[in-house]
C-alpha cells in the first residue's frame, strides 16, 4: 500500500469512528431528553388550557398515520393508556428550512460487502482464539480473565454490527494481521459514512433531540407548539 493510500485509509477509518461516536452521543442525548420532553409537553398543555386527551381522541386517525400503530400495545386496556403520552418523540420536526429525511430500506449485503465481511470474519476468528471464554487460560488472574471476556463481547458485537474499525484496533493490540484489501475497505467505509451522516441528520431533527438542544423556555414552548401543529393541525388550541 502506497503512503498516500495508507494516509487516506487511516483518515477514513478515523472519520468513520468519529461518526459512530457522534451517532451514539446524539442517540443518548435524545433518549435522555425523552422523559423531560414528555413532562414539559404536559405542563405546557396545562398552562395553556389544552385538553390533550380530547385532542388525541379526535385526531386518532392522523396520529396513527404519523406514528403508525404499535401491535405490541394491543393487549393493553384502554383505561391503562395515558392519552397525554407523546406517541413517539423521535418524530421528525417538519420545517420549511429542513428537508424530510427518508428512512433507509432494510440493509442487504452486496457481493462486495459479503467479501469484506468474510475477510473480517477471519480477523474475528483469530481474536476469538485468544478471547473466547472457552479458550481462556483460567490460571490467569481473575481481572485478566474478566477483561478477556469483556473484550470478546466487544469484538463479537463489532463483527455482527460491521463496525470493522473496532476489529482493526484489537487486531493491532493482539498482533493479528488485518485484511490488505484497502481499496475495498475504503469503498465500503465511504458508503457507510454516507449512511451514518444521513442517520445523524435525521436524529438531529427529531423532537427529542431538538428539545435537548433548547436553552430557554421560549425555545421549548416554540418546539411544543410546532409539535402540536404537526400532530393536531393549526387550530389545535381552539379544538381542545
Q: Give the whole-angstrom CA distance, residue 226 versus residue 232.
A: 10
Evaluate the CA torsion angle 130, 134, 140, 144 in order and state its sign: positive
Q: Give the whole-angstrom CA distance, residue 231 versus residue 40.
A: 17
Q: pLDDT value at position 81?
A: 52
Q: pLDDT value at position 130?
A: 93
More confident: 51 or 3 = 51
Answer yes or no: is pLDDT of 71 > 60: no
Task: Specify whether the CB–CB gap between 30 and 208 falls below 8 A.
Answer: yes
Q: pLDDT value at position 240?
A: 62
Domain spans in the chain, listed from the N-terminal domain onward: 111-183
CA 136 vs. chain centroid, Å, equals 33
Q: What is the mean pLDDT of the chain?
A: 85
**Cell (9 digits) for 45:** 398543555
Amino acid at each position: 500500500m502506497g503512503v498516500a493510500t495508507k494516509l487516506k485509509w487511516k483518515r477514513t477509518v478515523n472519520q468513520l469512528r468519529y461518526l459512530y461516536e457522534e451517532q451514539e452521543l446524539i442517540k443518548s442525548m435524545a433518549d435522555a431528553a425523552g422523559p423531560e420532553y414528555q413532562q414539559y409537553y404536559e405542563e405546557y398543555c396545562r398552562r395553556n388550557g389544552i385538553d390533550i386527551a380530547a385532542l388525541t381522541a379526535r385526531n386518532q386517525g392522523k396520529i396513527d398515520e404519523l406514528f403508525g400503530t404499535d401491535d405490541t400495545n394491543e393487549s393493553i386496556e384502554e383505561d391503562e393508556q395515558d392519552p397525554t403520552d407523546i406517541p413517539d418523540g423521535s418524530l421528525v420536526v417538519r420545517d420549511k428550512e429542513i428537508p424530510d429525511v427518508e428512512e433507509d430500506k432494510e440493509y442487504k449485503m452486496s457481493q462486495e460487502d459479503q467479501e469484506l465481511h468474510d475477510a473480517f470474519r477471519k480477523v474475528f476468528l483469530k481474536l476469538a482464539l485468544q478471547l473466547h471464554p472457552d479458550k481462556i487460560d483460567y490460571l490467569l488472574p481473575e481481572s485478566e480473565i474478566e477483561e478477556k471476556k469483556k473484550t470478546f463481547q466487544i469484538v463479537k458485537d463489532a463483527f455482527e454490527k460491521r463496525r470493522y474499525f473496532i476489529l482493526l484496533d484489537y487486531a493491532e493490540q493482539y498482533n493479528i494481521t488485518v485484511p490488505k484489501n484497502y481499496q475495498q475497505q475504503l469503498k465500503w467505509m465511504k458508503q457507510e459514512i454516507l449512511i451514518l451522516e444521513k442517520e445523524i441528520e435525521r436524529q438531529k431533527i427529531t423532537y427529542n433531540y431538538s428539545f435537548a438542544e433548547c436553552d430557554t423556555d421560549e425555545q421549548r414552548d416554540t418546539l411544543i407548539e410546532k409539535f402540536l401543529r404537526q400532530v393536531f393541525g393549526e387550530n389545535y388550541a381552539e379544538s381542545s
